Amino acid sequence: MIYDKMISLTENFAELNVKDISNPNELKNYFNKLKKIFNIVYVVVKMYPVYKKHRIYILNKYKDQKKFRGQKSYAVDYMIKFPTKMVKQGDVLLYCDQRRNEDTKGEKPNYKDNSRQIEHLRNNTDPHCFLGKYKNGEYYFMYVPENQELVIEEIIENTKNDDFSKEIIISKTKSANYKCELTGLPVSEGHLAADHWISKKNGGESNIKNCVILNKILNEKKNKHDPIVWFCKFLLTNFLNICKRTGMDLETVKSKLISFIQEF
């Protein structure tokens, strides 16, 4: 990753030129761009070992806590070898099969449908910690745990100063697995916000029990409404209208909803 960044900066540097050296404004502009490039290079070079050490530390901590097991544990071992590089998923899968073959002395040479576990690792086990891209038909990804910290900061930014503490937001976001608790949509599908389930206007407190992580748009629509009134008036009403429009028998729909609520 650092080498890709350096190549990009070199290309930017090569594009710099001063057509008229006697023009003070053009000369100033040139040196400002030059200064910016060198500042970025300094930050990249300075932070590279810090990020590398940080990611290795987190991955090893997860292994100690047995958060990743089986194939996922092998994948973590592979990522520890390349903490700051995009790795090809095919190489990770091959490594996992080789490790399993060695550990089982050839009795279980490979994993069936082995890509599913790696996808589960990226999307569910440790969500919003991976950057990925396709190149020449191959999928590459990199472990970036700093992304989760950015999500937390964004949720805090979306929350008023007199609302939940940072500790509450961190705890609730992690327990919600970085997803909207109502829709299940991950942060990659929309911004998140910390919501007072019982609004402060209606006596709700800014404590962990009353904190719910919601999609930011839902949070804004809910606003100060009573949660039951809001759900019935907007979400449930829309749901029933769709059922009606698509030809479903409303009495049957309502009966099933009531039955589900009673059995919950």
Q: What is the pLDDT of residue 6?
A: 45
Written as one letter, the residue type at 255 is S
Interatomic CA distance for residues 143 and 82, integer angstroms: 9
Interatomic CA distance for residues 131 and 4, integer angstroms: 15
Q: What is the pLDDT of residue 150?
A: 79
DSSP 125: I
Q: What is the pLDDT of residue 17?
A: 55
Interatomic CA distance for residues 191 and 169, integer angstroms: 14
Report the alpha-carbon angle 132-138-141, nearest 5. Answer: 25
Give Cβ neighbours of residue 227 (< 8 Å, ≥ 6 apart): 197, 198
| E strand or H helix at 195 | strand 192-196
Interatomic CA distance for residues 24 and 2, integer angstroms: 34
Q: What is the pLDDT of residue 186?
A: 80
Interatomic CA distance for residues 140 and 146, integer angstroms: 18
- pLDDT tens for the 264 residues of the chain, in order: 444 444 454 445 445 554 555 666 666 666 666 666 666 555 556 667 877 888 888 888 877 777 778 898 999 999 999 988 899 999 999 999 999 999 999 988 888 878 888 888 888 777 778 888 999 999 999 888 878 777 888 888 877 666 888 899 989 998 898 889 999 888 777 788 999 999 988 899 999 999 999 998 999 899 889 999 999 998 999 999 999 999 999 999 999 999 999 999
What's the predicted TM-score (pTM) here?
A: 0.62
Is there a contact between 212 and 164 (Cβ–Cβ < 8 Å)?
A: no
> In which residue are the tokens 């839902």 written?
218
